[in-house]
Amino acid sequence: MSTRYDAIIIGGGHNGLVCAAYLAKAGRKVLVLERRPVLGGAAVTEELHPGFKYTVCSYVVSLMRPWIVRELELARCGLQLIPLECSFTPHLEGPGLCRWPDPQRTREEIAGLSVADAEQYPRFGQAMGRLARFVKDVIDQPAPDPASLWPSDLGQLARHARAFQQLSSADALNQIKLATMSAADLLDEWFESDALKAPMSCSGIIGTFLGVRSPGTAAVLLHHYMGEIDGASRAWGIARGGNGAVSEAIATAARGFGATIRTQAAVARILVRGGEAAGVVLDSGDEIEAKVVVSAAEPRLTFLRLLGREHLDDDFVARIKRYRCRGSSGKVNLALDRLPSFTCRPGDGLHIRGDIAVAPSIDYLEEAYDEAKYGAFSRRPYLNVVIPSLLDPTLAPPGKHVMSIFVQYAPYALEAGPSAWPSQREAFGDAVVQTLAEYCPGLEASILHRQVLTPWDLEQQFGLTEGNIFHGELTADQLLFQRPLAGWARYRSPVPGLWMCASGTHPGGGVMGAPGGLAAKAILSAAVV
Ligand SMILES: Cc1cc2nc3c(=O)[nH]c(=O)nc-3n(C[C@H](O)[C@H](O)[C@H](O)COP(=O)(O)OP(=O)(O)OC[C@H]3O[C@@H](n4cnc5c(N)ncnc54)[C@H](O)[C@@H]3O)c2cc1C
């Protein structure tokens, strides 16, 4: 039997590492156990082709909470964020659309589509910014339970209500609409140009099994407006070294505070003694004891596989089984011999030094969803492309590039079942490359290596149940006091001594660290370690 720890964290994703860093900073003896050979979970960089480093899953950063960056001194630990320089939507005809950090330049671009939309665009951004400020207060604290009579819950609810009252009546109305509307309907209220609304609506579908016309997607859109980099709100960027560098910086902080981190250490099950979590058993059979066990793995995986339903009541088991994790996304990473050249804006320029969205129209996006609804991947999918090596040359050999392509839709549940994915993986990869190559001919010939990740691969390799990129859909019924389940949104679980700290807890998915940080604070204030 090895040393007894104060806390064992199952999973070395960025949230597990944040939780470990805070607990270790507070003087607790902490052990992180990661199943894979590399840390980071879905925030990971791997060299899968010699000299080419892929930011394998997540690829842009914006939501990372500034208080975590500050309190864990992540800049000192190597975290460096580089802002994207454009949001480019190529078209098969015409010049496409670029949205720049410079508002005047963006205004001129949009005026080419609609003068009225060019006027509206900054107003929309400001309105979303005001709502995002209100929501940020909510995501930086544990979610209060509206059914609870605890003074702390009531106090927090009263604070949020006061902040809500301080919104103008137009903003308050927008906030309510956002909770229920579709991204397409919301944008219809503001803009007339389909070519503008289409790329704007995409933030509403990322990671969801919903289309841009599905109610609820406006709320996901707001989630993506909450980002900031170095105090510049709504800015998105990449991490120098890929998103694995975010996890590595957090791991450096955690180790600096004394945490022990092990890789290739898969937890087979959570040890329960006398009805309380007492440690873990590894795949190797080793038992490690701890006062608390904190799962940084997805909730269904945590409760149904690692803990076991024999330790839970039937009602909890039934509810956690219903927690929705339907995967809808895939990822294709390419090593390129040369840069792509887009027909609508040829050559190397600032327009490709940002994110590139294949989202020509609202109908295109909705049709991409239609195929997924009936168990097939989209033949002409929505793509979000970034060439991070343009901003960070350390990721590829000189003159060469890595390209990250986020793809929707790729349903976990194929018509023939999820296990049919290995036989469809390359066809899916081909559909992605062919779709992009329509906009930049010659892409295929420049590919030196290709990695294709389907939702099935995301589950097998990264422990993302059903391939859901956020450890559970980010829909209103699975957020705030209901994440992962009503009554269990405060990082605790029905088994004393077992806690949760990752994206399946409030405030949800994305590389933001908030679940890990808030869970650690909850554990420390409960004085259980
Ligand atoms: C393809 C893709 C693209 C994305 N793009 C973005 C993006 O650009 N920007 C953004 O902000 N977010 C993005 N996301 C979402 C974001 O990456 C995730 O929400 C976030 O990284 C999850 O972090 P986490 O720490 O909560 O969990 P994870 O990163 O999932 O970490 C959980 C860890 O637990 C480990 N684990 C599981 N089971 C065990 C076990 N039995 N024993 C030991 N270890 C175990 C896993 O290996 C994993 O390392 C993307 C996700 C994916 C998959």
Six-digit token string for 229: 């980099």
Give 253's DSSP letter. Answer: H
What's the length of the chain? 529
Taking residues 363-369, what's their average pLDDT?
Answer: 98
pLDDT grade, residue 222 (50/70/90)?
Answer: confident
Q: Residue 230's pLDDT band (boundaries 50, 70, 90)?
A: low
Q: In sequence order, which residues have a C-beta less than 8 Å from that of residue 441 and are 6 or more positions away?
A: 343
Cα–Cα distance measured from residue 330 to residue 455, given in angstroms and rounded to the nearest whole number: 6
For the segment 453-470, what is each residue's pLDDT rounded down to a tens digit? 999 999 999 999 999 999
Check pocket membership of 10 for ligand 1, CB cut-off 6 A: yes
- Helix pair 14-25, 244-256: axis angle to 10 deg: 20
The region of weakest confidence among 100-109, 122-131, 223-232 is 223-232
Residue closest via CA to ligand 1's atom 15 equals 510
Q: Which long-range contacts (CB under 8 A, 24 or more apart) does 199-203 make?
A: 199/87, 199/89, 199/97, 199/99, 199/357, 199/359, 201/359, 201/362, 201/365, 202/357, 202/359, 202/365, 202/382, 202/384
Question: Is residue 11 within 6 Å of ligand 1 at its C-beta?
Answer: yes
In the numeric block, which tokens belong to residue 215? 């109610």
**SS3 call for 335:** strand
How many beta carbons lie within 10 A of that of residue 290, not counting itself? 24
pTM over 0.85? The answer is yes
Instruction: Tell me how far the alpha carbon of residue 365 lies from the centroid of ligand 1, in angstroms.
Output: 25
The single residue listed with the structure tokens 């992605």 is 432
Which pLDDT belongs to residue 233?
55
- The arithmetic mean of pLDDT across residues 520-528, rounded, is 94
The pick from 32, 58, 203, 304 for probing ligand 1's pocket by mutation, whose C-beta has the most ligand atoms within 8 angstroms, reads 58
Whole-number Å distance, alpha carbon 56 to ligand 1 midpoint, is 11
Say yes or no to pLDDT of 1 above 60.
no
Nearest one of 383, 452, 400 to 421, comparing CA atoms: 452
415-464 pLDDT per residue, tens: 999 999 999 999 999 999 999 999 999 999 999 999 999 999 999 999 99
pLDDT score at 131: 86
> What is the band of 175 on the pLDDT scale with cuts at 50, 70, 90?
confident
Average pLDDT over residues 21-50: 98
Ligand 1, atom nearest to 306 Cα: 41
The distance in angstroms from the start CA to the end CA of the chain is: 20
- How many angstroms separate the Cα of 394 from the Cα of each of 139, 386, 399? 34, 15, 11
How does the average pLDDT of the chain come out, rounded? 94
Segment 486-513 mean pLDDT: 96
| pLDDT of res. 228 | 61
Phi, psi of 277 (to 5 degrees): -65, 130
DSSP 165-222: HTS-HHHHHHHHHHHHS-HHHHHHTT---HHHHHHHHGGGTTTSS--TTSTTHHHHHH
What pLDDT shows up at residue 181? 93
| Of 280, 294, 293, nearest in space to 1 by CA | 280
| Residue with the two structure tokens 């949230």 | 15
Spatial distance between the Cα atoms of 491 and 493, rounded to a whole number of angstroms: 7
Q: Residue 210 — pLDDT band, cuts 50, 70, 90?
A: very high
Query: pLDDT exceeding 70 applies to what percent of the chain?
Result: 98
202 to 49, 123, 218, 275, 359: CA distances (angstroms): 30, 19, 10, 45, 8
pLDDT value at 301 more than 80: yes
Domains (ranges, CATH) in the chain?
5-81+241-324+470-525 (3.50.50.60)
- C-alpha–C-alpha distance, residues 115 and 118, integer Å: 5
Helices then strands, each counted (H, E), the chain: 16, 20
Is-contact 21 27, C-beta < 8 A? no
Backbone torsions φ then ψ of 31, nearest 5 degrees: -125, 125
**pLDDT reading at 225 higher than 80:** no
| Protein residue closest via CA to atom 3 of ligand 1 | 58
Residue among 270, 469, 473 whose CB has most ligand 1 atoms within 8 A, to mutate = 469
Q: What is the pLDDT of residues 275-291, one digit of tens each?
A: 999 999 999 999 999 99
Q: Are strands 232-233 and 329-336 parallel, antiparallel or unpaired?
A: unpaired
The angle that helices 115-139 and 103-111 make with each other, rounded to 10 degrees, is 130
Where residue 50 falls among pLDDT bands split at 50, 70, 90?
Answer: very high
